[in-house]
A and B are shown apart, each in its own frame.
Chain A
């Protein structure tokens, strides 16, 4: 028993060291500069959690094990704490990467305001990721679940945040304002999951029972043929089971794809065409548009849904009106913009998605039939806060004049701050349709010069957003 006590003491010491070093690093991080107060609240919470786990480990080490049974129990508990400490260590990356220098300042308020405007008030962190991807993770719920048996006061420790949403963006793209518009898709995930939009859509959808029956029967025939059996009446129960399985499979795939389409739709409603263009650029340069990666609809389907939404929201009609206003940069921007949208439509409509299995066909059919319900449900969440075609025409098209003067488009008129989303859309419009104007003015010849000018444009847009928000905050305070 003495050696067992020694071994247990050694293992417990390792776990205690692990907690100690987690706490040490967290205390060092307290002095770092973060754009959100949440980061410091989270550091304090994690210090309390690590100290709580350390206390529990220390309790295990107070006396030597009294029996073999006691030794085994303590060993199991030590392992459990070890795993918990490992997970707590992984959470440090949220704080290591969340420092001010890594975060695009202009997007911080914008993301927060977009979520608040839809009636939610989570704690938010924006974080860079080494993956070339945008993502959303809710942090506190998994922490609560995994620690509720270890720390009875976990609710108190985490009460600084009801929900705690972490949004990730690709590290190198910190200043790529137009690509970082894709964070709005992650806002879409947050709102979709919080409001259970997919479940609401699913409850209103009808899945063709005849097709389910056909798929189940075919699946059963294939299965029985492989087993060299014939389908008989006794297989009725097998057929019903198969149907249930097919329904489950279809519903699962439909809900995964709907989650993406709903998030796209929320992003489009909140951020307008800037999102549609950004996601189009991202998808078309990342992978084959026809592929249906696991859990996702094809990129082609996503773009088709967005462009249909764009037309339904009357954007095209607004943009086309600018084409008549000859000899203005608005006319030139409108012509190119309409041309690019038409080319996207052509690209999406002409080439059909490759044939795939019957389940995939049925999933596509269900997804197609969900369009109007999806838009209704998204509208009920985004509602009055959506960016409209009218605003795109009245503000974004006007702000491109300011950008063309190499000035941040912060004000819609003298002393009046522009809408930050209108600024983003003006940036998108300018980069997409008028960038050559800027290159010409700056006499850019080399590739490096041209890319630097694009980088400067992105910075002008972020400056515009920051300046308009500052102006609005200061004016509001003054009027109070």
Chain B
């Protein structure tokens, strides 16, 4: 799903983006049914803007082993093979990760976020980073009830390497209220529930792939 499609869906589903006051109320409320869990909040004055909350870069990354494998093929590779294509890297606070031109890494937010059932959120890159060439390569829609850190697909589209520091404000979350909120279990089951580190793609779990594989066998 590209950024425009995601935004359109969000707009159709939602009653508009939450304002600064609404976001702060949701962050501070003791009513767990309405609360946006967002931890750690280091500086709300700095992070909560007019209609978005800035998120910071976490300490864990997934790097792709570019030289070792010729192709990622979700129809041919098995789930357990995924590990062979990537390596996990930890970068402490105060250290940096260099993102080279045309390199993609998976990072994550420092913050662990849990959304109530009546909100969705969209992750957007900060334009200040975009102007340096750092692109959030796909818009991420955070579903109602999601709990975990948010995986960020970070790509350097510029021509010079970019140093990434954990703890730095890297992206922002815009929250939208759902007009018709379905009743859902308290913790809705999603593939990535409870993640505390970036998650690799689980495209391999898509049921459609079985159909595609069957078609290929014919």
Contacts and interface: CB of A to CB of B under 8 A. Distances in A.
B110 interface: yes
Contact of A405 (B32, B44, B167): B32
B112 A471 contact: no
A464 B39 CA distance: 9
Given A406-B114, A441-B187, A470-B167, A33 B44 contact: no
B92 interface: yes
Given A35-B90, A406-B114, A470-B167, A462 B196 contact: yes
B42 interface: yes
A478 interface: yes
Contacts of B92: 35
B194 A470 contact: no
Contacts of A442: 187, 189
Contacts, number: 82
Given A101-B88, A441-B186, A407 B39 contact: yes
A105 B32 CA distance: 30
Contacts of B185: 441, 443
B79 to A, nearest CB: 16
A459 interface: yes
A473 B39 CA distance: 15
Contact of B40 (A101, A105, A456, A470): A470
B181 interface: no
A227 B147 CA distance: 77
Interface stretch (A49-57, A367-375, A411-419): A411-419
A236 B103 CA distance: 86
A234 B89 CA distance: 75
**Chain A: number of interface residues, binned into ranges:** 20 to 34
A20 B40 CA distance: 49
Given A406-B147, A407-B147, A441-B187, A467 B37 contact: no
B118 to A, nearest CB: 16
Given A35-B90, A414-B27, A474-B167, A463 B37 contact: no
Interface string B16-29: 00000000000110
Contact of A467 (B27, B44, B110): B110
B187 A411 contact: no
B50 interface: no
A80 interface: no
Interface in A250-267: none
B90 A408 contact: no
Interface of A: 33, 35, 100-101, 105, 402, 405-408, 410-411, 414-415, 417, 441-443, 456, 459-460, 462-464, 466-468, 470-471, 473-475, 478
Interface of B: 27-28, 32, 37, 39-44, 59, 88-90, 92-93, 110-112, 114, 147, 149, 167, 185-187, 189, 193-194, 196
Listed from nearest, the 6 A-B pairs whose CB atoms lie closest are A471-B40, A463-B196, A467-B40, A456-B194, A407-B37, A410-B39
